[in-house]
Amino acid sequence: MNTIMKKLMAAGITMLGFAGMTSQLLAQEAEGGSKEVKFTDVFFHLSAEAIVLWILLIGSVVMISFIIELFIRIRTKALMPPAVLAMLADAMNTYNYQVAFDTCKANQCFLTQCLGPAIKVIGLGKHAVEEALNENFAKYSVQLKSRNNYLSVIGVVAPMIGLTGTVLGMMKAFATLGQSGVANMTGLSSAISEVLIATASGLTVAIPAFIFFYYFKNVATSVFTDAHTQLKTLLRNVPYDQLVGFQVSEGQ
């Protein structure tokens, strides 16, 4: 848990760093004009650009929730709790498959969700066991990995949403330029600042989303490989020839 908290703190610092760089860039861009356009001026002003920023804010909240969930769920200890793994190893090594099956039912995690169905068909032979194991492994690993794919979606969509704000801001800038010419540089500068805010906000959401997407993609590959190895190890010494017709009791 301490490791998770450290990683979440690092994620928060990263987000704050991007926000700080964005604010600094916007402030530097506005120094040449007579009016500085702040993030809050656009964010709380009823306009199309404000709607874009609200959408990006919601996207950032969703992104952070996925990151927290993935930090918690895609861990070796979460997929294969050491205590449960030890109980299963003891039961399988002593050929007590009923106890192993009951342990799987009583302790729901990725390991037991894959091993339980395999033990259930252990009397049908090695092929049936491997088929059940691979089927459930693929099913539950995809469910977990799909959460990470949403980070990729956010990383792709966020810049496009920011670009929408950029287009809207440029339309306003050229409308101002067309109405008052180069004389109204204040209005033109204000509109361009809104363009920069929308663009920077989209990138602020997209960059961390992609960073964590590839991070969790690599972590998942390692963790699920370890899990598959452990499952194979648990089933390695099963005497299938002696268990023909064996059935476990599912209880109540």
Question: What is the chain's pLDDT, residue by residue, as a tens digit (252 residues)?
Answer: 445 445 444 444 444 444 444 444 444 444 444 445 454 454 455 556 677 777 888 888 999 999 999 999 898 899 999 999 999 999 999 999 999 999 999 999 999 999 999 999 998 999 999 999 999 999 999 988 888 999 999 999 998 888 887 777 777 667 666 666 555 566 566 667 667 777 888 888 999 999 999 999 999 999 999 999 999 999 998 998 888 888 888 765
181 phi-psi bin (left φ>0, alpha ψ -120 to 50, beta other): left
pLDDT reported for residue 71? 92
* Alpha helices per DSSP H over the chain: 2-30, 39-43, 48-73, 76-79, 82-93, 97-106, 110-120, 126-180, 185-234
* Length reported for the chain: 252
pLDDT reported for residue 146? 87
| CA dist., res. 101 & res. 88, Å (int) | 9
pLDDT reported for residue 179? 66
∠ Cα 223 226 227 (to 5°): 85
What CA–CA distances, in Å, run from 28 to 3, 25, 36, 83, 224? 38, 5, 9, 56, 47
pLDDT reported for residue 99? 93
Dihedral (CA of 218, 158, 191, 168) sign: positive
Closest CA to 153 of 69, 213, 199, 220: 213
pLDDT reported for residue 52? 76
* Per-residue tokens: 102: 């009951």
pLDDT reported for residue 173? 67
Name residue 218's amino acid. N
| CA dist., res. 182 & res. 162, Å (int) | 27
pLDDT reported for residue 113? 94
